[in-house]
C-alpha cells in the first residue's frame, strides 16, 4: 500500500535561515505522540553540546542548532542503535522540533511535492511530483 507525505522547506523560526529543503512530518519512534520534522538533507545546521543517549534506547545523539542564530532546533542521531534500526523508520537522522521551525510545503511549478512511501518497506521509496 502506498501513501504520500508532503515535502517541507524548514526555516528557523527565530532568524528565518533555511535549515532543510527536503523534510517530512514524522513522529518519535519511542513515543508516536511526539511529532517532529525529519530530514537527511540539511543546511545551516551544526551539532552542539556533548553527545548523549536517551533512556529508551542506545542511539548516540547530539543536539543541533541553527548556524544563523545559535538557537537549539532539534537533534541528530549520530549512531542509531539496533533496536531503532529494527523499527519501521524513514531513515532520516536529523530531527527538528516543530516549535523551532517554520514549515512550508514545497511546490514545483503547479505541483505540490510529495514523498511516495511504500508501507511494506522501512524507508521512503522515491520522491515524486503529483
Domains of the chain: 2-49+62-76+90-115 (2.170.150)
State pLDDT tens for residues 12-31.
999 999 999 999 999 887 78
State pLDDT tens for residues 28-73.
877 889 999 999 999 999 999 999 998 888 999 999 999 999 999 9
What is the SS3 assignment for the chain?
Answer: CEEEEECEEEEECCCCCEEEEEEEEEEECCEEEEEEEEECCCCCEEEEEEEECCCCCCCEEEEEEECCCCCEEEEEEEECCHHHHHCCCCCCCEEEECCCEEEEECEECCEEEEEEEECCCCCEEEEEEC
**In this model, does residue 117 exceed pLDDT 70?**
no
CA dihedral 46, 16, 22, 38 (to 10 degrees): 60
The residues, any chain, with a CB within 8 Å of residue 33's CB and separated by 6 or more, are: 27
Give the pLDDT confidence score for residue 56 in this predicted structure: 85
Amino acid at each position: 500500500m502506498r501513501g504520500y507525505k508532503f515535502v517541507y522547506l524548514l526555516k528557523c523560526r527565530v532568524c528565518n535561515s533555511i535549515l532543510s529543503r527536503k523534510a517530512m512530518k514524522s513522529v518519535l519512534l519511542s513515543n508516536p505522540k511526539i511529532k517532529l520534522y525529519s530530514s537527511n538533507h540539511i543546511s545551516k545546521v551544526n551539532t552542539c553540546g556533548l553527545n548523549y543517549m536517551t533512556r529508551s534506547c542506545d542511539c548516540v545523539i547530539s543536539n543541533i542548532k541553527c548556524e544563523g542564530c545559535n538557537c537549539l532546533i532539534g537533534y541528530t542521531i549520530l549512531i542509531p542503535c539496533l533496536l531503532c534500526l529494527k523499527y519501521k523508520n524513514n531513515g532520516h537522522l536529523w530531527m527538528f522540533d516543530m516549535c523551532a521551525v517554520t514549515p512550508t510545503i514545497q511546490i514545483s511549478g503547479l505541483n505540490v511535492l510529495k514523498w511516495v512511501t511504500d508501507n511494506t518497506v522501512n524507508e521512503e521509496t522515491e520522491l515524486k511530483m503529483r
